[in-house]
Amino acid sequence: MKTLAEIRNDFPILNAKVRGKELVYLDNGATAQKPAVVIDAINTYYKDYNSNIHRGVHHLSQVATTAYENAREKLRGFINSPKLEEVIFTKGTTESINIVASCFGRKSLNKGDEVIISAMEHHSNIVPWQMICDEREAVLKVIPINNNGELLMDEYKKLLSDKTKLVAVIHISNTLGTINPVKEIIDLAHQKGALVLLDGAQAVPHIKVDVQDLGCDFYAFSGHKIFGPTGVGVLYGKSEYLNDMPPYQGGGDMIKEVTFEKTTYNCLPHKFEAGTPNIVGGIGLGVAVDYMQEVGIDLIHKREEELLAYATEKIVKVEGVRIIGEAERKASVLSFVIDGLHPFDIGTLLDQLGIAVRTGHHCTQPLMSFFEIPGTIRASFAFYNTKEEVDKLISGLERALSMLR
Ligand code: 7TS
């Protein structure tokens, strides 16, 4: 088992100085830092075997293809997908959700059909559904939440009907940290014959995700939030549904045969992977999930739970602080507001101390309206963060308060 010091040593950027201060990186919800093994893998690809993949007879192309397809297998194992073909490489969560909204929607949504999302969705799990519902004359329904930031499951049950075709919900909220009861959500939807997509962008960094155990039909996540490169992510989907959906984009790689009269499409996963993909991104992401598994998801979860408990206990003692998101089951996301002060001003002062937090609406504007706030200050922790960093956040906040008040 790696010690905390060893873990921190694996991430070169954690030794950086920002504005002359030691970096305190608490913006992991936006993007996580990268371990040296991932950075090295990217470097090695470009130095030693940069080449386009699939159908290449030459050596480098074969090496790159093998590395890319090995990475797919690693991701399959990471989420325990039963079939390799059900793991589609995308640009990230946003693209994964757009693929399902667009392709499932065009095939299966008709006038009067219903799609259910929740009040705590990221914009990327709202807007694609608004767009396709608009186009298909389907109706979008929203599961409400309580003041702690938990879904009202009784209301969800009332929304479900024979008209419900798909339920798309966030697994863990990026703004509130709420861990949603997704198994129950899936079971209830399936009883009505509706499919379920989970936005797992904030879940895969923190907890073990097993798509077979969950029973979801689609699962979307981004590589950059799990210590991999930007511009790559995954859409998991059950092959029976992916096979049934039309392709997302047309182009190279997604075809079997093209004539001017008729084109036939490639098998999964290639049908949804038109054009040259983010080859180095996929390879880097494979290394990132290897790294997470080496550290151990259980250790990651345990360390983050401790950090969240420690930070929550300390922050409630800061004068005027109100935590936004007090669900019973929470991941290591701590959003808060401070009476009379704008989140942006606090964020700017913390930045002067080398402390990186995120301020604003976190791409969840409907949630901000619900809580009647302009935004929050959000500290989001990864397993490489320390209690000393939490202490620096708290003393930074106190300093900011004494200057702003
Ligand atoms: N879904 C959730 C739950 C997210 O947290 C994010 C990004 C996305 C989808 C979109 O992911 P992308 O990789 O496709 O952009 N969330 C955040 C955040 O909380 N702060 O910056 C980005």
Task: Please tell me the predicted confidence (pLDDT) of residue 55.
Answer: 83
- Report which protein residue has its CA nearest ligand 1's atom 17: 30
Indicate whether 139 pLDDT > 90: yes
Choose one of 127, 225, 226 to mutate for the ligand 1 pocket test, by most ligand atoms within 8 angstroms of C-beta. Answer: 225
Average confidence (pLDDT) over 23-28:
98
DSSP 136-185: HT-EEEEE-B-TTS-B-HHHHHHH--TTEEEEEEESB-TTT-BB--HHHH
pLDDT at 87: 99
Is a pLDDT exceeding 90 seen at residue 181? yes
378 Cα nearest atom in ligand 1: 19
Q: How far is Cα 295 from Cα 7, in angstroms, rounded to an integer? A: 8
CA of 71 to the centre of ligand 1 (A): 22
pLDDT of residue 159: 98
How far does residue 24's CA lie from ligand 1's centre (Å)? 21
Residues with CB under 6 A from ligand 1: 29-30, 92-94, 122, 124, 170, 174, 199, 201-202, 222, 358, 362-363
Mean pLDDT in residue range 106-128: 98
CA of 103 to the centre of ligand 1 (A): 21
CA-96 nearest atom, ligand 1: 14
Could you say which of 133, 216, 267, 363 is catalytic? Answer: 363
pLDDT tens digits, 201-226: 999 999 999 999 999 999 999 999 99
Closest atom of ligand 1 to 124 CA is: 9
* Mean pLDDT for the stretch of residues 293-321: 97
Can 4-30+296-404 and 40-293 be said to share one CATH topology? no
Rounded CA-CA distance 308/26 in Å is 12
Ligand 1 atom nearest the C-alpha of 222 is 13
Which residue among 89, 122, 197, 224 is best mutated to probe the pocket of ligand 1, counting the most ligand atoms within 8 A of its Cβ?
Answer: 122
Query: Is the Cβ–Cβ distance between 112 and 138 less than 8 Å?
Result: yes
Q: How far is the CA of 106 from the centre of ligand 1 (A)?
A: 25
pLDDT of residue 56: 85
Q: From the CA of 148, how far away is ligand 1's center (Å)?
A: 21
Q: Is the pLDDT of residue 174 over 90?
A: yes
- Residue 155 phi/psi, 5-degree rounding, is -70, -35
The CATH number that domain 40-293 falls under is 3.40.640.10
Task: Look up residue 336 and give its two tokens.
Answer: 């808060």
Task: Measure 74 CA to ligand 1 centroid, in angstroms.
Answer: 22
Size (the chain), residues: 405
Per-residue burial over 271-306, b if 16 or more Cβ lie within 10 Å, else e, is bbbbeebbbbbbbbbbbbbbbbeebebeebbebbee
Q: Residue 405 pLDDT > 90, yes or no?
A: no
Domain spanning 4-30+296-404: which superfamily? Answer: Aspartate Aminotransferase, domain 1 (3.90.1150.10)
Q: How far is the CA of 30 from the centre of ligand 1 (A)?
A: 6
Nearest CA, atom 4, ligand 1: 201
Domain limits, the chain: 4-30+296-404, 40-293
Tell me which of 121, 124, 199, 285 to substitute to probe ligand 1's pocket, judged by most ligand atoms within 8 Å of the beta carbon.
124
Identify the helix (H) or strand (E) that includes residue 289: helix 279-295
How many angstroms from the chain centroid is the CA of residue 18? 26
CA distance 362 to 149: 15
Q: Provide the pLDDT for residue 404.
A: 87
The ligand 1 atom at the shortest distance from the C-alpha of residue 173 is: 3
Q: Are strands 358-360 and 355-356 parallel, antiparallel or unpaired?
A: unpaired
pLDDT of residue 160: 98
Check whether 118 has a pLDDT greater than 90. yes
Q: Specify whether 363 is catalytic.
A: yes
Mean pLDDT computed over every residue of the chain: 98
- Condensed to tens digits (0 to 9), the pLDDT of residues 39-96 reads 999 999 999 999 999 988 999 999 999 999 999 999 999 999 999 999 999 999 999 9
Residues 36 and 55: beta-carbon distance below 8 Å? no
**What's the rounded mean pLDDT across residues 96-106?**
98
Q: Is the pLDDT of residue 154 over 90?
A: yes
Q: Which residues of 315-349 are buried (b: 16+ CB within 10 A; e: fewer)?
A: beebeebebbbbbeebbbbbbbbbeebebeebbeb
pLDDT computed for residue 271 by the predictor: 98
Q: Candidates 363, 368, 377: which one to mutate for ligand 1, based on the most atoms within 8 Å of Cβ? A: 363
